[in-house]
């Protein structure tokens, strides 16, 4: 795996991959950043990744996966992504600062585009307005949320409160205070203070999480 750009996003990504046992080559054109990461990852090198020769010398074409974590410098992000595509890297992830940037990255060869600031902004919007403790948008109209058990579900089995038929959502997991998460079944009885993991269409899980 090659990670290009050691800003906040690329740096955290490279460290997490290394913690999970992946072999990671990190590249950045700023020597002090490369120096800083040299002990934390498998290989680190200073390179301008818009230079095809530099990529070849570092054996980048031999990697199957790459993440372009250059954000603000659009030209460098686009050029690097298109070079990786030309070099035949089979799985290219690229970070975009906005949707337009993301569309260009897809055009020049990115297989997956992530919009971390945009996605996190949307996610926090859901958290600050309601009772949700976490919110993950799985697809445009489908989400998984973590929320406190609403009163209508408390002290009766889930099939009794008819969560699915009334609210269109499925409770998939439950956590009692001081315990870990377990799978929820139709016989699970939530109590006050329990936390639920709920999946369903976005507006339905939002409505469910807003119940008191
Ligand atoms: P973040 O918002 O995650 O902090 P940045 O866009 O600030 O991300 O950081 C991107 C990183 O990419 C910087 O460390 C920068 O030095 C590096 N970078 C930018 N252009 C190139 C390039 N042409 N070659 C290699 N690294 C680059």
One domain for residues 38 and 89: yes
CATH number assigned to the domain comprising residue 187: 3.30.70.1450
pTM of the model: 0.83
Domain with residue 84: its CATH number is: 3.40.50.720
Identify the domain containing residue 79 by its residue range: 2-114
Cα 20 to ligand 1 centre (Å): 23
Of the candidates 90, 114, 138, which is a domain's last residue?
Answer: 114
DSSP secondary structure of 145-168 = EEEEPPGGGTTS-HHHHTHHHHHS
Residue 106 shares a structural domain with residue 11: yes
Q: Based on the fold, state whether residues 163 and 182 are members of the same structural domain.
A: yes
* 109 in the same domain as 61: yes
Closest approach atom of ligand 1 to CA 72: 6
pLDDT per position as a tens digit, 10-52: 999 999 999 999 999 999 999 999 999 998 898 999 999 999 9
In the numeric block, the tokens 């060869």 are attached to 109
Query: Are residues 61 and 77 part of one domain?
Result: yes
- Give me the number of domains the chain comprises: 2
User: What is the CA angle 168-125-104, rounded to 5?
Assistant: 100
Specify the DSSP class assigned to residue 186: T
Same domain as 102, residue 171: no
Name which of 152, 145, 144, 156 is nearest 186 in CA terms.
Answer: 156
Question: Are residues 104 and 46 located together in one domain of the fold?
Answer: yes
For residue 71 and ligand 1, the question of a CB distance below 6 A is answered with yes
Q: Would you say the CB of residue 29 lies under 6 angstroms from ligand 1?
A: yes
Please report the ipTM that was assigned to this predicted complex.
0.94
Ligand 1 touching residue 5 (CB < 6 A): yes
Give the model's pLDDT for residue 71: 86
For residues 108 and 129, membership in a common domain is answered with no
pLDDT at position 157, please? 95
Average pLDDT of every residue of the chain: 94
Q: Is 90:100 a contact under the CB 8 Å cutoff?
A: no
Section 153-172 average pLDDT: 93
Instruction: Tell whether the model's pLDDT for residue 130 goes beyond 80.
Output: no
CB 7 less than 6 A from any atom of ligand 1: yes
**Ligand 1 pocket, 12 CB below 6 A?**
no
């Amino acid at each position: 795996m090659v990670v290009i750009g050691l800003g906040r996003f690329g740096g955290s990504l490279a460290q997490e991959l290394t913690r999970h046992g992946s072999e990671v080559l990190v590249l950045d054109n700023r020597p002090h950043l490369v120096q800083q990461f040299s002990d934390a990852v498998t290989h680190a090198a200073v390179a301008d990744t818009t230079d095809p020769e530099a990529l070849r010398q570092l054996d980048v074409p031999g990697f199957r996966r790459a993440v372009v974590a250059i954000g603000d410098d659009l030209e460098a992000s686009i050029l690097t992504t298109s070079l990786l595509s030309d070099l035949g890297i089979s799985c290219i992830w690229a970070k975009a600062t906005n949707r337009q940037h993301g569309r260009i990255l897809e055009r020049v060869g990115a297989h997956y585009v992530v919009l971390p600031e945009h996605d996190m902004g949307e996610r926090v919007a859901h958290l600050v307005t309601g009772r949700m403790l976490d919110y993950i948008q799985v697809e445009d109209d489908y989400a998984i949320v973590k929320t406190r058990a609403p009163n209508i579900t408390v002290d009766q089995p889930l099939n009794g409160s008819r969560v699915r038929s009334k609210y269109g959502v499925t409770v998939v997991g439950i956590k009692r205070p001081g315990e870990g998460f377990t799978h929820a079944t139709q016989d699970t009885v939530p109590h006050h203070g329990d936390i639920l993991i709920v999946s369903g269409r976005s507006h339905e899980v939002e409505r469910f999480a807003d119940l008191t």
